[in-house]
Amino acid sequence: MRYLVRHGLTGLSLRPLAKAVGASPRVLLYYFGSKEKMVVEVLAEVRQRQRASYAGVKAASFAEECRRVWKQMSADDSEPLFRLFFEAYGMALRRPGVYKEFLRATIEDWLQLIAEPLCRKGHTRRSARAFATVVLDGLRGFMLDYCTTHDRKRVDRAVDLWLGALDAMRPERKEA
Amino acid sequence: MRYLVRHGLTGLSLRPLAKAVGASPRVLLYYFGSKEKMVVEVLAEVRQRQRASYAGVKAASFAEECRRVWKQMSADDSEPLFRLFFEAYGMALRRPGVYKEFLRATIEDWLQLIAEPLCRKGHTRRSARAFATVVLDGLRGFMLDYCTTHDRKRVDRAVDLWLGALDAMRPERKEA
DNA sequence: TTGTTCTTGAAACGAATGTTTCAAGAATAG
DNA sequence: CTATTCTTGAAACATTCGTTTCAAGAACAA
């Protein structure tokens, strides 16, 4: 995982990876079956840890939780993870068969994480998921920008603007 | 360009490309210098055409313009372009040196396109750019989602929510 | 113990990679 | 015309790739 996060997927090769982790290509293939399966497994594990690290973020208001999430996302040590993530995203879109589970989980898991509390508060599933989409896709877009430009001031200002408007987008409750 | 859009960057190889366009690897290298330079040039050209195709979108209100842009982005024939774009993005983040210009233009050009009209209307450059960041990053995030899930209903609903709140994020005018 | 499965290193395989070499032909200049 | 440059095909080059083969050794079951 560490090697993948650091070196990425572009041009990833078994032999250097094996050497770096003190193994041989033979062993990697023995346990993972193929290079691609190995990548898929590593991505799944990284994803799971990522989700766990954000699931614990709690705050008084929803916007405040988002703010904290953004703070964690845009912290320096998160960037390699997101670089790997966006890299995997590009490959996954090109090879949906191989990365099917990555593509599913990369949206669906987070949507559920965000939408579920709203559903429990009485919002319809549909509107909760639409709102969760705004949140998830917004943060992803900001992160893509930040990884590209490292223009923290501008992106942070944008996130502030966006956060300020988030409450107005909160879904209506179901009519009781 | 057509070949790149269709086949992507992952595992791109000179020989199949050359055959598909009725040339030889030798010729491609003769004119582009290297495979990587070729990719960079093609991406630049694609980007320019993309920008031109969105620059003409005009409507009465800003939100309406955004809605039309989203409509064009999420049209079926746009998807291959965005797949290529996200793929390039992943590689560019991993190799900033080679793709430096791609990374710059991919944010900055669009920011200017969005922010400039606002500046001309008397908004400060800073707030215009923050707002433009919300717009650009939001649309990118939505597009990444849509390319992944093709869940048009959910994403469209989210875009609607987001568009409805956009006006509230518009930057204040400079004090006269 | 014996027999079996699990794990691994070394080496080889075949294929494909980007790029270069070389030489011939086309185009252009003077 | 001649001389020079531009363009191109065929082939070779040197790597590198993921993966397989084979055989030896470790672990374990009985």
Q: Do residues A7 and A87 share a domain?
A: no
B77 inside domain: yes
Which chain A residues are within 8 Å of B103, Cβ to Cβ?
148-149
Q: Do residues A37 and A72 share a domain?
A: no
Residue B127 φ/ψ, nearest 5 degrees: -75, -35
A53 inside domain: no
Residue A62 φ/ψ, nearest 5 degrees: -65, -45
Q: Do residues B74 and B39 share a domain?
A: no
- B 56-75 residues with CB below 8 A of A? none
Q: With contact defined as beta carbons under 8 Å apart, do B171 and B124 qualify? A: yes
Give Cβ neighbours of residue A123 (< 8 Å, ≥ 6 apart).
Answer: A131, A171, A172, A173, A174
Q: Which residue has the tokens 């093609």?
A: B42
Question: d(Cα B22, Cα B20) in Å, to the nearest integer?
Answer: 6
pLDDT score recorded for residue B84: 98
B104 inside domain: yes
How many domains are there within chain B? Answer: 2
pTM of the complete model beyond 0.85: yes
Q: Do residues B107 and B157 share a domain?
A: yes
Size of interface A-B (CB pairs under 8 A): 158
Q: Which residue has the tokens 């000179």?
A: B14
B53 inside domain: no
Range of the domain at A120: 59-176
B54 inside domain: no
- Cβ within 8 Å, pair A133-B157: yes
Q: With contact defined as beta carbons under 8 Å apart, do B135 and B66 qualify? A: yes
A51 inside domain: no
How distant is the Cα of A141 from the closest Cα of chain B, in angstroms? 4
Which chain A residues are within 8 Å of B160, Cβ to Cβ?
130
In the structure, how far is the CA atom of residue B98 from the C1' atom of nucleotide C10, in angstroms?
37
Q: Which amino acid is at A12?
A: L
Question: Secondary structure of B26-76 in the HEC alphabet?
Answer: HHHHHHHCCHHHHHHHHHHHHHHHHHHHHHCCCCCCHHHHHHHHHHHHCCH
Q: Which amino acid is at B16?
A: P
Q: Do residues A79 and A156 share a domain?
A: yes
Instruction: List the beta bridge partners of residue B123.
Output: B173
Residue nearest to nucleotide C11 (CA to C1'): A26
B28-74 per-position pLDDT tens digit: 999 999 999 999 999 999 999 999 999 889 999 999 999 999 999 99
What average pLDDT does the segment B4-12 reach? 97
Q: Do residues B9 and B85 share a domain?
A: no
A14 inside domain: yes
Give Cβ neighbours of residue B87 (< 8 Å, ≥ 6 apart).
Answer: A90, A91, A93, A94, B8, B9, B10
DSSP characters for A113-165?
HHHHHHHHTTB-HHHHHHHHHHHHHHHHHHHHHHHHH--HHHHHHHHHHHHHH
- The parts of chain A modelled with pLDDT lower than 50 are 176
Q: Do residues A116 and A173 share a domain?
A: yes
Q: Do residues B140 and B77 share a domain?
A: yes
Q: Do residues B95 and B121 share a domain?
A: yes
B75-117 per-position pLDDT tens digit: 999 999 999 999 999 999 999 999 999 999 999 999 999 999 9
A52 inside domain: no
Q: Do residues B112 and B167 share a domain?
A: yes
What average pLDDT does the segment B149-166 reach? 97
How distant is the Cα of A146 from the closest Cα of chain B, in angstroms? 10
Among A53-67, A147-161, B131-145, B162-176, the minimum mean pLDDT is found in B162-176
Q: Do residues B175 and B110 share a domain?
A: yes
Q: Do residues B157 and B94 share a domain?
A: yes
